[in-house]
Amino acid sequence: VFENSKTASIAVAHEIAALIRSKQELQESCVLGLATGSSPKGLYAELVRMHKEEGLSFKNVITFNLDEYYPMEPDSINSYVRFMKELLLDQVDILPENYNIPDGTLSKEEIQDYCAQYEEKIEALGGIDLQILGIGGNGHIGFNESGSLQNSKTRLVALDHITRVAASKDFSGLNNTPRTAITLGVKKIMEAKRVILLAWGEGKSNIVKASAEGTVTNLVPASFLQEHNNAVFILDQGAASKLT
């Protein structure tokens, strides 16, 4: 629990930088799982600052984003491709072939094979070294909504009403908000060697408590992380305020 989201984000950025550098020394690639949304913005800002001011290189970094709305054009204002490029990927020296974000332009028939290949690519690299997560008001991680199974695969999912309502401000209304998305499954998230979930503000405090201290249940997918052997919740005072 940190004083505020800024100090927390800086601490997480430092952990990631140390991981990237340790992998560089071993001449290994560093596989990061990344999230979008408001929670990791400060983290990405600090990583960009470290790249620009401290020479942190992303040449050995390979990234996999958790999710993308479907359907979604990559250059659309609300696409997660655009979000990632603007906030991180275009600001650092990561190689364009080294970042992966689910493709929102596929035909429905192509999605299943594409999702299997997304997972195979992660496996071929030895899995995700460090996975960054946010948490939805309903406990979703990625877009694994309530009811997602612990062994769920990367797939096309229907978004919960509460998730669509939260997104609707960006899409100027619920009617324009996508109903579906492609998400990394819970299984690959749980296979990550380390997981860091970020949550800020009192609005997240009830779901943080349910996830960290409540029953492990697929109604709250973030509660699965209690069974991960190297997962942490990084919180500000507000998000931690209901913890016992």
Supply the minimum distance, in Å, between the C-beta of residue 167 and ligand F6R. 8
Residue 60 binds ligand F6R, judged by CB under 6 A? no
Q: Tell me whether the omega of the peptide bond preceding residue 71 falls within 30 degrees of 0, making it cis.
A: yes
Which are the catalytic amino acids? 145
The answer to whether residues 33 and 132 touch, using CB atoms and an 8 Å cutoff, is yes
| DSSP-assigned letter for residue 160 | P
Candidates 33, 104, 136, 185; binder of ligand F6R (CB under 6 A) is 136
Q: Which residue is nearest to ligand F6R (CB)?
A: 134
The answer to whether 102 contacts ligand F6R (rule: CB under 6 A) is no
Among 36, 79, 148, 211, binds ligand F6R (CB under 6 A): 36
DSSP, res 20: H
Residue 230, both tokens: 């190297």
**Of residues 60 and 148, the one with the C-beta less far from ligand F6R:** 148
Told to check if 72 binds ligand F6R by CB under 6 A, we report: no
Whose tokens are 């960006």? That residue is 170
Residue ranges in 102-193 assigned as alpha helix (H): 108-124, 161-168, 186-191
Rounded distance between C-alpha atoms, residue 60 and residue 46, angstroms: 18
Q: Which of 51, 82, 140, 188 binds ligand F6R (CB under 6 A)?
A: 140
Orientation angle between helical segments 41-54 and 5-25, nearest 10 degrees: 50
User: Does residue 37 touch ligand F6R according to CB under 6 A?
Assistant: yes
| Site residues (vs ligand F6R, CB under 6 A) | 35-39, 66-67, 134-136, 140-143
